Amino acid sequence: MKPHRLFTVEEILSRIESVVVDLEVHGETHQTGIAQTSFSYSEHPYSIVLATNQGWLKQAAENDAVSLILTTPRIAKLKSDDFAKPLLLCQNPDEVFYFLHNQALHAESYEITPDTYSAEHHIDHTATIHPSVVMEGPIIIGEEVTIGPFCYLKGPIEIGAGTIIQEGCSIGNEGLFTKLVEGHHQHIRHYGGVVIGPRCQIHSGARIARSAIFQSATRLEEGVSVGVESVVGHDCHVERNSIIASTAAILGRAHVEASCWIGAGSLISNSCRIGHHSSVKVGAVVIQNLEPNSTVSGNFAREHHRTLRDLIK
């Protein structure tokens, strides 16, 4: 989908002037066009993104899809005038970004009509859907999918062949994503969807939030298992054959690589990346990236055998 119009930087500035603090505009902006808000790793062209650390700033600067970056002077640490992308520098970039995000720029940039997201459901004739299931928005359900009683699905959603969703699950809901904007805690709107691969197991009471970003999705790849009452936050990506045990929480934008075990009651913090074949033990709280084949436990999580040695001293 291509945008039919782009916002100029001047138009963006006029929209944020009521909330921005100590604004500085850095770089050439006269040829910059904006179509939507997104994250630093976005694949969507003409994005304005938020960089609240130097890692995200570097990622955004190297991403051809990003047109404009919101950050602070401290994070930018500008040493020259030849930075690769135009920057909006201010003291409250997160507030400014989410204020802008809730205005749904994409609704004006793209020709979104009633047919863009048809409310029609495409359900394979071999699927089994309990009559109590509630479905809203565009939903595609593949072969031999089973959806149990009292589930709620809000599209856009795609569900791959052979996936089983047990009773009481909520797929495509808006997660707990709240920011302080204009002195009040405001809910941040979710514009994307959910994609669940084939042969996944979504157990009773699980919650899978949809993406916050237009044209994006929270993704579960083939063979993923999500345990009873577990939560997968907005824009998460869980790779194939990973298991999320009961009551675990995978927070927004976290990435769980292939064949991981996320133990019962554990928590993966926002934007953390869990390397493939890693094991997060019961009740662990992970606040940083894990290398592949890691085994961690504790609060805050660290290498599991080190934790055991300390406990038996």
DSSP-derived secondary structure letter, 194: E
Confidence of residue 219 (pLDDT cuts 50, 70, 90): very high
Q: Distances from the Cα of 234 to the Cαs of 40, 207, 215, in angstroms?
A: 15, 10, 13
What pLDDT does 2 receive? 87
pTM for this entry: 0.91
Tokens of 63: 């991403």
pLDDT over 80 at 217, yes or no:
yes
Annotation: CATH topology of 9-109: 3.40.1390
Q: In what order do the strands lie in the sheet with 295-297?
A: 128-129, 146-147, 164-165, 201-202, 225-226, 243-244, 261-262, 279-280, 295-297, 302-303
Q: 26 versus 238: which is more confidently predicted? A: 238
Q: Span 72-100, mean pLDDT?
A: 86
**Type of residue found at 144:** E
Nearest CA to 121 out of 147, 154, 78 is that of: 154
What pLDDT does 301 receive? 76
Residue ranges of domains in the chain:
9-109, 121-311
pLDDT over 90 at 88, yes or no:
yes
What pLDDT does 101 receive? 97
Listed in sequence order, the residues at least 6 apart from 28 whose beta carbon sits closer than 8 Å to its beta carbon are 86
Contact present, 63 and 44 (Cβ < 8 Å): no
CATH number (1.10.3720.10, 2.160.10.10, 3.40.50.300, 2.30.30.60) of 121-311 reads 2.160.10.10
Nearest CA to 90 out of 26, 15, 142, 153 is that of: 26
pLDDT, tens digit (0-9, with 9 covering 90-100), for 129-149: 999 999 999 999 999 999 999
pLDDT over 60 at 302, yes or no:
yes
Q: 77 versus 66: which is more confidently predicted? A: 66
What pLDDT does 49 receive? 98
Nearest CA to 159 out of 177, 149, 169, 147 is that of: 147
pLDDT, tens digit (0-9, with 9 covering 90-100), for 236-270: 999 999 999 999 999 999 999 999 999 999 999 99
Q: How far is CA 66 from the centre of its chain?
A: 17
Q: Which of 170-184, 185-199, 270-284 has the lowest mean pLDDT?
A: 170-184
Contact present, 236 and 257 (Cβ < 8 Å): no
Token pair 């031999």 in the structure block, residue? 144
